[in-house]
């Protein structure tokens, strides 16, 4: 696992820097909460871990959407 320290407004480039797959930006930090912005093509799925676990477990779409 790679761990990178970033400040608010700083970015992480994913993939080839000349033609990145996407960019992750630290949008805001307030107390213990961090807002992360993802700039990826729509076809790239991005899920929170709890949602990914529900998808893996095969739970109904309604339960996933309720999160």
- Residue 29 binned pLDDT confidence (cut-offs 50, 70, 90): very high
**Domains of the chain by residue range:** 11-66
Contact 41, 19 (CB under 8 A): no
Query: For position 62, what pLDDT does the model report?
Result: 52
User: Is 80 exceeded by the pLDDT of residue 14?
Assistant: yes
Contact 51, 61 (CB under 8 A): no
The pLDDT tens digits of the residues spanning 53-66 come to: 999 998 776 555 55
The rounded percent of the chain whose pLDDT value lies above 90 is 85
Backbone angles phi, psi at 43, to 5 degrees: -75, -10
Distances (CA, A) of 51 to 11, 18, 24, 41, 58: 24, 32, 19, 20, 11
């Amino acid at each position: 696992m790679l761990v990178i320290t970033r400040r608010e407004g700083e970015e992480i480039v994913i993939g080839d820097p000349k033609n990145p797959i996407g960019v992750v930006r630290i949008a805001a930090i307030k107390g213990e909460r961090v807002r992360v912005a993802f700039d990826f093509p729509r076809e790239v799925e991005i899920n929170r871990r709890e949602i990914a676990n529900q998808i893996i477990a095969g739970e109904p779409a309604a339960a996933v959407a309720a999160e």
